[in-house]
Amino acid sequence: MNGIFITFEGIEACGKSTQANYLYNYLESRRINSILTKEPGGTILGDLIRNIVLHEKVFPIAELLLFLADRNQHINETILPYLEQGYIVLCDRFYHSTYAYQASGRKIGFDTVQQFNELAIQGCRPDLTFLIDLPPEVGFERKRSANLALDRIEKQNYDFHYAVRDAYLKLAREDGRIRLLDGMRPKEVLKKEILDIILETFPNMKERAIS
Ligand code: TMP
For 136: left if phi > 0, alpha if psi spans -120 to 50, otherwise beta; the answer is alpha
Domain CATH code at residue 24: 3.40.50.300
Best mutation site among 75, 91, 97, 121 for ligand 1 pocket (most ligand atoms within 8 Å of CB): 97
pTM to 2 decimals?
Answer: 0.98
Q: How far is the CA of 47 from the centre of ligand 1 (A)?
A: 12
**Ligand 1 proximity of 8 Cβ (cutoff 6 Å):** no
Residue 103 inside a domain? The answer is yes
CB 38 within 8 A of CB 8: no
Positions of the chain with pLDDT lower than 70, given as ranges = 1
Q: Are 45 and 82 in contact (CB under 8 A)?
A: no
Q: Is residue 210 part of a domain?
A: no
Q: Check residue 206 and give its pLDDT.
A: 86
What is the domain range of residue 65? 4-204
Residue 58 belongs to a domain: yes
pLDDT digits (tens, 9 = 90+) for 30-82: 999 999 999 999 999 999 999 999 999 999 999 999 999 999 999 999 999 99
79 assigned to some structural domain: yes
The conformational region for residue 92 under phi > 0 = left, psi -120 to 50 = alpha, else beta, is: beta
In a domain, residue 27? The reply is: yes
Are the C-beta atoms of 45 and 69 separated by less than 8 Å?
yes
Helix ranges, 128-186 (H): 136-145, 158-174
- By residue count, the chain amounts to 211
Q: Is residue 159 part of a domain?
A: yes
Question: What pLDDT does residue 1 have?
Answer: 64
* Cβ of residue 43 lying under 6 Å from some atom of ligand 1: no
- Domain-embedded: residue 161: yes
* Domain count along the chain: 1
Tell me, yes or no, whether 209 lies in a domain: no
Tell me the best of 93, 110, 131 to mutate to test the pocket of ligand 1, counting ligand atoms within 8 Å of each CB and taking the most.
93
